[in-house]
Structure 1
Amino acid sequence: MTKIKICGITRESETEVLNRMQVDYAGFVFFEKSKRNVSIEQAKEIKKHLKPSIKTVAVTVNPALDLIDEIIEAGFDILQIHKMQEFPENLKIPVWVAYQVRSRKEAEEINVLDGTSGILLDAPEYGSGKTFSWQDFPMKKRREWQERRIPFILAGGLSSENVEEGIRLFEPDVVDVSSSVEGEHGKDYKKVEAFVRKVREHE
């Protein structure tokens, strides 16, 4: 069964629909350039209102060690790292390593680092609402990760309109959505519900 991550949580009120729809992961962004950026303190308050069954993911971009320490201390379940320069040593938290897929060649060159708890594929531009080129992706990489039992997270431009195709093509362990379920003031409950239903209808 494909698990669901709703990313870019910024408000306590958004936890209601995540709890009701029983999603699997809630993502909090710790990156100042993102419009969905939150502080550690804000995230700690918000996640108090999530059901214990929903795992929390701290989304970062080449984070400093101090930030990683704060994330671990705050009790997040998973650390997601974009643009990782080198794998931090002796981490006491599972790490999802994110890769932006700009071309087939780049995808073929992805090497899974020791200690990786999950591979996340994202679009060339963060928050663009567009997918990477699914048809050009070298599926031998996906099969390699399946054989090695490395969890795979499909992200970047997913929506209720295309998530079924994404699941069919990639058989991801997790689908990760953010931009397409946004409204004027944070997450749009109806869009979240529609996305979750599409994923579960596919099972």
Structure 2
Amino acid sequence: MNRTRVKICGITRTEDALHAVQAGADALGFVFYAKSPRAVDVEKAADINRHLPAFITTTALFVDAETDYIDRVIRQTRIDLLQFHGHEDERFCNQFSRPYIKALRMKPGLDLGAEVKRFSSAQAILLDAYQPGVPGGTGEVFDWDRIPESHPAPIILAGGLNSANIAEAVSVVRPYAVDVSGGVEASKGIKDAAKVTTFINEVTRANNN
């Protein structure tokens, strides 16, 4: 199995970003959604990005954002990848000067195969728990057995992940990557360095088993 990549999302501080990189994170996520407790403004995200070393993928998370705002974030932060968590269709997601991933909430009755085909231009599909009215970051785990063993797009697993369940998650789902935010926090938007390190170490342990 290929190594499972790790994305630490909800970054709001330079020190948290640098520790995540040192601990072995492959990607960092910045939330550009004002209603989120982990939201970061464009200027702060740009400043954090200036301190990052090469080969770390920076990701901008949006929820039904305006085109002009997304263009501004891309221009000012030089972000690498876009992540859409709202009702955006493929045409909308694919119009920018960056590759994108599409988040799908695992609502009961969701036809995952059909949704993956609908976003065939996405670099990957992120699967998150479903909670009515909440576009992501619920801290809840969904039934991983709903994910078919064979899927046409790389799968990023999210939803209630933490150091206690991530090894099992990697072993059961075998995702391309995992995405964690609340599971490695001291408080909303503030990462716990020990939790980040333990989480990434558990991913590595699961890959080696």
Superposed pair shares fold, TM > 0.5: yes
CA contact (8 A) 2:168 2:206 kept: no
Deviates more, 1:32-41 or 1:111-120: 111-120
Mapped partners of 2:16, 2:180: distance in 1? 14
Tell whether 2:161 aligns with 1:158. Answer: yes
Partners of 2:110 and 2:78 in 1: CA distance: 37
SS at match of 2:198: helix
Specify the alignment match of 2:126 in structure 1. Answer: 120
Aligned residue in 1 for 2:99: 94
Separation of aligned partners in 2, 1:199 and 1:144: 21
Question: Following TM superposition, by how much is the alpha carbon of 1:104 offset from its aligned partner in structure 2, in angstroms?
Answer: 4.5
Match of residue 49 from structure 2: 47
Distance 1:16 1:72, change over 3 A: closer
Task: Verify: 1:23 aligned to 2:25, yes or no.
Answer: yes
Query: 1:15 aligns to what SS in structure 2?
Result: helix
Q: How does 1:2-151 map to 2 (within 5 A)?
A: 2-73=4-75, 74-87=77-90, 88=92, 89-107=94-112, 109-112=114-117, 113-125=119-131, 126-135=136-145, 137-139=146-148, 142-145=149-152, 150-151=153-154
The answer for unaligned runs of 5 or more in structure 2 is none
Report Cα offsets for 1:90-112 as digits up to 9, x if no partner.
Answer: 32211100011122445454243
Q: Which moved more, 1:71-80 or 1:2-11?
A: 71-80
Q: Give yes or no for contact 1:2–1:172 (8 Å, CA) kept in 2.
A: yes
The DSSP-based 3-state class of the residue aligned with 1:42 is helix
Kindly, what percent of the aligned residue pairs are identical? Answer: 35
1:180 corresponds to which residue? Answer: 183
What is the CA–CA distance in structure 1 between the aligned matches of 2:95 and 2:31, rounded to whole Å?
23
Looking at structure 2, the residues matched to 97 and 116 of structure 1 have their Cα atoms a distance apart, in angstroms, of 6
Q: Displacement of 1:24 after TM fit?
A: 0.3
Q: 1:127 to 1:114 in 2, by over 3 A?
A: closer
Q: Aligned partners of 2:54 and 2:125: how far apart in 1?
A: 24
* TM-score (normalised: structure 2): 0.87
Measured after TM superposition, the shift of residue 138 of structure 1 is 4.5
Distance 2:206 2:147 in 1: 24
**Distance (Å, rounded) in 2 between the aligned partners of 1:83 and 1:144:** 22
Is contact 1:108-1:138 (8 Å) kept?
no
How far residue 123 of structure 1 moved from its aligned partner, in angstroms, is 1.1
The gaps in structure 1 that reach 5 residues or longer are none
- In structure 2, C-alpha distance between the alignment counterparts of 1:40 and 1:175, rounded to whole Å: 25
- Cα distance in 2 for partners of 1:84, 1:128 equals 17
Distance 1:120 1:28, change over 3 A: same
Question: Which residue identity lines up with residue 167 of structure 1 in the other structure?
Answer: V
SS at match of 2:125: strand
1: CA distance, partners of 2:49 / 2:61: 14
Aligned pair count reads 196
Q: CA RMSD in A?
A: 1.7
